[in-house]
Chain A
Amino acid sequence: MKYEIILTAILVALPCSMLGCFLILRKMVMLGDAISHAVLPGIVIAYLVFDSRDPWMMLWGAGCTGVLTTLCIEILHKRFNVQEDAAIGVVFTFLFALGVILISVFAHNIDLDQDCVLYGEIVYVPLHRMDIGVLSVPVALPPLILVNAIVFFILIVFYPYFKLSTFDSAFAAGVGMSVGLWNYVLMSLVSFTTVAAFESVGAILVIAFLVVPAASAYLWSKQLKTMCLLSLGFAIASVCIGYMIAQQWDVSISASIAMGSGILFGISFVIHTSGKVIVRNKQ
């Protein structure tokens, strides 16, 4: 039970923190935040259209909403001349509100409630089980494992592309790379991950999983590769700290993990800034 919860949390945190590194370096963190909110109506619609027990269809349905969000924001920004962050704010609040409304309209048809949307229900993950051969595993695990596999496969195989288009998109476009394509690949990965994470951590806390470990890693590293590896480490450490906090005080596990990553960032930040002060004083 306990280990299944921790395993689920780690499987959510790992791909999130990897993707977070690229979001931070591309200055697209708020877009990730927007997507994580905006997949909500997609999830609800997928719940309604397909059987709620079919997580695969839900994954695809909601993944499309994520790409749609990116597209909407881009159109608002480029075609309608809305400032980019205002466009983000307008689009994600609208889609999230739509999702909440859909949930209340179809409250009888789907087993989603507002609590699940807000914090996720990682505690209940071990309760819904399925059988694969002789193994009995939580229903939430296979999709998460699949998302991990997809995210890590794509990020590792196409690492040079992501690296170049992140570092210098103008140059990348100049040597014939399709920067837009890689952008959309990244955004669809973000939406897959947020959808898979939805059941365990909800739609709003995902952004903490995306950005906080990666931000801590960013403080410590000078290279993309070390940053990615470090953020994985921070992600796992946050899960452990968060789980301990949750056990100790009997509080929400997903929120404690997010808080744990915040604590790790706080420590990194203090060491980082005091280090800088020392260097400055020596000069």
Chain B
Amino acid sequence: MVESLWADANARTVIVCTLLLNSAAALIGCFTYLQKKSLTGDAVSHSILPGIAIAFLFSGVKDLWVILPGAFLTGGLSLLSIEYILRHSKLKQDTAIALVLSVFFAVGVVLLSYIQHHGNGNQSGLDSFLLGKAAALLSADIPLYFSVAFVVVFSVLLFYRPFMLISFDRSFALSIGIAAHRWQQVMVVLSVLAIVIGIQAVGVVLMSAMLITPAVAARYWSHRLPVVLLLAVLFNMIASVMGIIISYKYPSMPTGPWIVVCISSIAVLSFFIGNAKGILRRSSLTVQK
């Protein structure tokens, strides 16, 4: 079964690409989780939809080189809007996030339906961004996905220490001369990049699961940040492979939702048996005391 999957050249590309996309998401997701910004990722992923639609409307092609910049722009714009609303009104963070998320998403749906009703027949496949379609990854797009994911992974490893410092203790980081604001921006750009490339695999609605859930699960296994990062990537990879295998075996099954269900199951398992914070381990610890 697995051998035949690997023998299929198309499936192989899908697997390699999905693994890479989801590793990038897991890495940067750990930092958004540690900074208690789990749900801003959700806002970004929903806000990518209008960007994709606008890019398509203006160019008329589904070329990734056109669509990704569009997605990146509206994704980033959503974060700026949230920050602007928070700074200039009495609205609280959760309201601002939900507001920006839903309005951007609505604009995206409006544009998509416009394209559908007025399109030139070239538009089919655009809505695969909604719930993701890993199988629709084209081998022509692989180099671009690959390089973006590589940039994200490499940057997180390279900037690990400043990222860790500003996530743990921002004012200390400032006091030793780290430009926390600048690094924060770098981190935001990386997370938007990771989300933009990730939506092809799991879609805008479920993308935030690829960021948060592995981080939450990994935290239950270790108290060390490097280990947490490694485990998060590992968990996302396991879930991706499982999701792809399931949808390869039953072609009517959607890949993205299965990946999400798999990573959630790993998380639930971790809540109980994780050896750092898992609830079963914790109760045995208290007995020892």
Question: A85 touching B36 by the CB < 8 A rule?
Answer: yes
Chain A hits for B206, CB < 8 A: 93, 96-97
Interface string of B200-221 (1 = CB under 8 A from A): 0000011011011101100000
A71 within 8 A of B: no
B216 touches A104 (CB 8 A): no
- Chain A residues positioned under 8 Å from B42 (CB to CB): 89
Complex alpha-carbon distance, A250 and B110, angstroms: 9
Interface magnitude class on chain A: 35 or more
> B261, A256: Cβ atoms under 8 Å?
no
The segment out of B57-65, B94-102, B155-163 that lies at the interface is: B94-102
Q: Which chain A residue lies CB-closest to B33?
A: A86
Is B118 an interface residue, CB under 8 A from the partner?
yes
Does A83 sit at the interface, judged by CB under 8 A?
A: yes
Contact partners of A207 in chain B: CB under 8 A: 98, 101-102
B256 within 8 A of A: yes
B289 within 8 A of A: no
Q: Which of B104-147 contact A (CB under 8 A)?
A: 105-114, 117-118, 127, 130-131
Instruction: Write out the residue numbers on chain A whose beta carbons fall within 8 Å of the beta carbon of B212.
Output: 86, 89-90, 93
A residues 71-112 near B (Cβ < 8 Å) are 76, 79-83, 85-86, 88-90, 93-94, 96-98, 100-101, 104-105, 107
User: Contact between A97 and B258 (Cβ–Cβ < 8 Å)?
Assistant: yes
Q: Is A247 an interface residue (CB 8 A)?
A: no
Query: Contact at A86–B38, with CB atoms within 8 Å?
Result: yes
* A272 in the interface (beta carbon within 8 A): yes
Cβ of B98 and Cβ of A269 under 8 Å apart? no
A240 is an interface residue with CB less than 8 A from chain B: no
In B214-269, the 8 Å CB interface with A consists of 215-216, 252-254, 256-258, 260-261, 264, 267
Bound state CA distance, A30 and B82, in angstroms? 14
| Contact residues in A for B5 (Cβ distance below 8 Å) | none
With contacts A30-B97, A86-B212, A94-B261 taken as known, whether A212 is within 8 angstroms of B117 at the C-beta atoms is no
Those of A242-283 within 8 Å (CB) of chain B: 245, 249-252, 254-256, 258-259, 261-262, 265, 269, 272-273, 276
Q: Which of A130-160 contact B (CB under 8 A)?
A: none
Known contacts: A89-B38, A211-B95, A218-B90. The answer to whether A262 contacts B106 by CB under 8 A is yes
B279-A80 in contact (CB<8A)? yes
